[in-house]
Amino acid sequence: MTDLRIAGIGMTSARTRDRLVQRLRDQGIVNPAVLERIRNVPRHIFVDEALGSRAYEDTALPIGFGQTISQPYIVARMTEALLDGGPLARVLEIGTGCGYQSAVLSPLVTTLFTIERIAPLMERARERLKELGMRNVRFRHGDGSVGWKAHGPFDGILVAAAPLSVPAAWLQQLKPGGRLIVPVGPEGEQQLVRFTQKDQRLEKQNLGPVAFVPLLGGTG
């Protein structure tokens, strides 16, 4: 991948990215590290070339296999919610997708473990992150609903698909003080929720309405 391809031109240029970051500020994103990641990650390389000119619109876009790349505001909101409360060492991401959320989060944590049920998406994401020089990401093709027990417990878990209810495995794989960011509920009624393990109890905070693809078990 050429430097020019990563840097972008025209509708994928730095000026276009700056406008996106300003829109996110206007919508309430305040964490400077998160805003900087949104500015620096070349979102256009994570979508089909035909959609490149729309990469810095604040909207979800199709990536194939019935999946989407989340809108930048949602990626920023979830990342900010995950990081709120202090730095994180070991983080689990459920639903790698095209790898855009992974690319935003990777430099903000020590090690990122990410699971994707659709093998071609995972391989595409692996290649993109490798080309961007991100070496702290561990990939797994598998069923995200069961987590990744072998590498837990985790300081944080971030989920990019919506279960009807939160799988017990995720909560069991959170460290004390750990944070789980997850959209929960049926289509049209989903809420973004942050769960925090505190003093042997689970604290729940509603972060507002969202729209995600449903969480599916198994592998594709």
Mean of per-residue pLDDT scores for the chain: 92
How far is residue 7's CA from residue 2's CA, in Å, rounded to a whole number? Answer: 9
* Rounded mean pLDDT, 149-156: 96
CB count within 10 Å of CB 203 equals 11
* Rounded mean pLDDT, 44-58: 91
* Rounded mean pLDDT, 28-45: 96
pLDDT tens for 172-220 read 999 999 999 999 999 999 999 999 988 888 999 999 999 999 999 888 7
Q: Residue 217: its pLDDT value, please?
A: 86
* Rounded mean pLDDT, 13-25: 91
The residues pairing with 112 across neighbouring beta strands, listed in sequence order, are 91, 137
Amino acid at 56: Y
Amino acid at 123: E
Taking the domain 60-209, which CATH number applies? 3.40.50.150
pLDDT grade for 59, boundaries at 50, 70 and 90:
very high
Q: Residue 146: its pLDDT value, please?
A: 96
Domain extent listing, the chain: 60-209
Pairing type for strands 191-198 and 201-209 reads antiparallel
CB count within 10 Å of CB 204 equals 11
Does residue 32 carry a pLDDT above 70?
yes
* Rounded mean pLDDT, 36-49: 94
Q: Write out the catalytic residue numbers.
A: 70
Of 43, 24, 33, 168, whose CA–CA distance to 102 is shortest? 43
* Rounded mean pLDDT, 35-63: 93
